[in-house]
Structure formats: C-alpha cells, structure tokens
Amino acid sequence: MNPQVSLECRDINLSYGTTPVLRGVSLKVEPGEFFALLGPSGSGKSTLLRLIAGFNRHQSGALLIGGQDVSAVPPHARNVGMVFQNYALWPHMNVWDNVAFGLVERRESRDAIRRKVGAALELVGLQQYAQRRPGQLSGGQQQRVALARTIVIEPKLLLLDEPLSNLDKQLRVQMRDELKSLQRKLGLTTLFVTHDQEEAMTTADRMAVLDKGVLQQVGAAADLYDRPVNRFVAGFVGTANMVEGEVMRAGAGQIAFRAPGLGDIALPLQDGDAPLPGPAALAFRPHQVVLAEAGAASDASRIWMQGEVESAEFLGEFSRYRVRVGGLALLADQPHYAGLAMYPPGAQVRVGMAPAQLRVLAR
C-alpha cells in the first residue's frame, strides 16, 4: 500500500466559458484523513473531485498531492482511485475481471493480479461472488465491487463521488459504516463528495461546505453545526431557525440584539471578534427550543416568550412543532416519550431559549 499523502488545493479557479464554477478554493486534506465535501446540487463539489482526479483542469491555482503539484499530470499518472455514483462496472465481465481490470491495464503479472484481486475481494467480503456479473448482485454488493476495483490498484488517494446515493436508506447506513471501517483499515487519504449532511457528519473526520463554487467553511462536523460562520452553513448543515434582526452593540462580554417579534435580547459574546453593529441574523436549532404550558414555572436561565402552536408532526424520536411567536414562525423539536401528549394546533405555549445557544451571524 502506498504511504499516506496529503491533498492540497491552493486558490483553485475553474470556469466553463464565462461561467465560474470554482472560485478561489483553498483547502488541505491531511494524510490518512477521511474528508467530506458537502454542498447542494450545482455547488461545484463533483467538479472539484473530478479536477483532483485529472478529468477537469483549473485555469489558475495549484493542486498538490503529497506536496507535489500535479496540475499538469494526466489522470492515469496521478495514481488516484475514484468510485463513481453509478459504480461504472463492466456488465459483461464477472466480479473478478471487473476488479482485475486496472491491474491488467497496468500489465501486472498474472501472479500479482491473482494475489491482489483475491486480497481486495476478501477485504470487501465478496470472495464467493467472484464469478458473478454485476447484474446478479444487489446495489450494496455492486458498491463493494466498485470499491474493490478502486483499492486494488493501491491509489494514493481515494475519491468517492456520492457513492451511496443509489442505495435505500437502510443500506446507505450500513454501507457508510463499512466504508468508514474500510478507510480506517487501509489508512487511505479519502475525499468523499455528498449532498447528504448526515452522511458527511457521520463518516468524516472533517468536512467542507461548498456553495456556488465558494468554500464556505471547513472543520469538524460539530464545529460547523454548533458554530456556523454564515446563514448558508447554518441552514445547510442541520435545520436552523433564522431570525433576521440587528446587532445594536457588542462589548463587555455581551451582544445586544434586536429582532422584530422577539424584541431586545442580551446574548453572551461568542467565539472570535465581537460583531459590528448592523443587520444580522440569530440562528438556533429546533432542539434548542423548549416548550412549556402557558403559566408553567420557568427556568430563569432561558429567554421566554409567548407562542401559539401552528402545527405538530410526530417523527418518532421527537415531535416537531411550528410555533408562532409574534410575527415569527419557529421550529421546536421536543423529545418523545411513551405516554407524553403532544401540544395540539392552537395551544398556547411558552417558548424558551438559552442565550448561549443563540448564534449571531453577520453574513
């Protein structure tokens, strides 16, 4: 197996004609890291992955693998393995021949092919399916064949382009666990592209959010979830309530925020520099909102407001409420327990929020 290598993009810019697709993308993936690239359709994430594989070419910037600039290196010479969304298996070849294909192209010896293909199939648990064709396999088994075919060539990098999107939910959960386990076992530096936030958060060591070709934020899943840098990240990584308002002043450990419908709110000063006075948004997660019956005793550590339940959904582990507070409609997720009655639409409730959980986003 090749030694672990880093991957670095330095101010990558790519346009199709006059349309910019990647704009000043700079990020570094550490050796052996499982890194997820997350973004909506059209954000440029698959374009960036294909650029790293060598199928696209940037107009400016540098792409380094293991510290070496490979911008001008053709795809076949980069020793990068890529698993596509549709797996791209040869339908007329059996599993063994599909996995051996890259080694045959490289003209490796028959003994080396037999040894490496056998090891790859054992790694993904498909030894007994070696003589079957792709059409005789389940979606999860085809996914394993695609992985085996990629890792058998011992690539420096493993690139995964939405590899689980064609599977049903239960199989996706199983396959992402297997994928993570396999990556840890191999120690391969891996870049995983997905539009599914849950996949990114549960598999990756770190992740980056891309929107309209611009890198929005890079960090561990918990950092992006708890400390989003802007409205887009707050709304894309998880579900968020977003209340537009204004920072009145900030200093002495506090932020004074004014929001129509909520009034003036005093918040503790958050990480980093104090926000400048001016338009901003208050972001907070539905599970951070507490509901209580009107007139119930209040936890003094929270900000409380009167509200009315507009709708209620039972989602198993929790119930999601849409609550009208002044001119605002807020989402509130409450844990469900057996025998716990839901608030019906029209119910008058008190809405509580902990100041430390409210995040001010100036952009």
Q: What is the pLDDT of residue 270?
A: 75
Q: At 171, is the pLDDT very low, low, confident or very high (cuts 50, 70, 90)?
A: confident
Cβ count near 323 (within 10 Å): 24
Q: Are 48 and 155 in the same domain?
A: yes
231 within domain boundaries: no
Q: What is the pLDDT of residue 268?
A: 87
Q: What is the pLDDT of residue 272?
A: 66
Range with the poorest average pLDDT among 11-15, 27-31, 197-201, 222-226: 197-201
Q: What is the DSSP string of 253-318?
A: TEEEEEETTTEEEEEE--SSSPPPSEEEEEEE-GGGEEEEETT----TTSEEEEEEEEEEEE-SSE
Instruction: Say if residues 182 and 203 touch (Cβ distance below 8 Å).
Output: no
C-alpha to C-alpha distance for 175 and 180, rounded to whole angstroms: 8
C-alpha to C-alpha distance for 263 and 294, rounded to whole angstroms: 20
Instruction: Say if residues 203 and 192 touch (Cβ distance below 8 Å).
Output: yes
Q: Are 221 and 274 in the same domain?
A: no
Q: At 250, is the pLDDT very low, low, confident or very high (cuts 50, 70, 90)?
A: confident
Q: What is the pLDDT of residue 175?
A: 78
Domains of the chain: total: 2
C-alpha to C-alpha distance for 67 and 3, rounded to whole angstroms: 13
- Residue 196 or residue 319, greater confidence: 319
User: Across the strands, what pairs with 257?
Assistant: 247, 265
C-alpha to C-alpha distance for 320 and 146, rounded to whole angstroms: 39
Computed on alpha carbons and rounded to an integer, the radius of gyration of the chain in Å comes to 25
Q: What is the pLDDT of residue 254?
A: 87
235 within domain boundaries: no
The side-by-side arrangement of strands in the sheet containing 19-29 is 19-29, 7-16, 60-65, 68-69
Query: Which pTM does this prediction carry?
Result: 0.87
User: Percent of the chain scored above 70 by pLDDT?
Assistant: 98
Q: Give me the CATH number covering residue 77.
A: 3.40.50.300
Q: Are 156 and 180 in the same domain?
A: yes
Q: Are 201 and 344 in the same domain?
A: no
Last residue in a domain, options 172, 201, 226: 226
Last residue in a domain, options 191, 226, 261: 226
Q: What is the pLDDT of residue 273?
A: 67
Residue type, 55: F
Residue 147 confidence (pLDDT) above 80: yes
Instruction: Say if residues 129 and 137 touch (Cβ distance below 8 Å).
Output: yes
Instruction: Say if residues 21 and 57 touch (Cβ distance below 8 Å).
Output: no
Average pLDDT, the chain: 90
2 within domain boundaries: no
Q: Are 89 and 189 in the same domain?
A: yes
Residue 86 confidence (pLDDT) above 70: yes
285 within domain boundaries: yes
The model's pLDDT over 153-168, given as tens digits with 9 standing for 90+, comes to 889 999 998 877 777 7
Residue 207 confidence (pLDDT) above 60: yes
Query: Which domain does 172 fall in, by range?
Result: 7-226
Top mean-pLDDT range of 182-191, 265-274, 323-332: 323-332
Q: Are 96 and 203 in the same domain?
A: yes
Query: Average pLDDT for residues 75-94, to the nearest whole number?
Result: 86
Q: Are 248 and 209 in the same domain?
A: no
- Residue 170 or residue 99, greater confidence: 99
Instruction: Say if residues 13 and 23 touch (Cβ distance below 8 Å).
Output: yes
Q: Are 246 and 360 in the same domain?
A: yes
Q: At 58, is the pLDDT very low, low, confident or very high (cuts 50, 70, 90)?
A: very high
Q: Give me the CATH number covering residue 288.
A: 2.40.50.100
Q: Are 302 and 356 in the same domain?
A: yes
234 within domain boundaries: no
Q: What is the pLDDT of residue 263?
A: 83
Q: What is the pLDDT of residue 192?
A: 92
Residue 102 confidence (pLDDT) above 90: no
Residue 344 confidence (pLDDT) above 90: yes
Q: What is the pLDDT of residue 32?
A: 94
Q: At 144, is the pLDDT very low, low, confident or very high (cuts 50, 70, 90)?
A: confident
Angle of CA points 219, 217, 255, to nearest 5°: 95
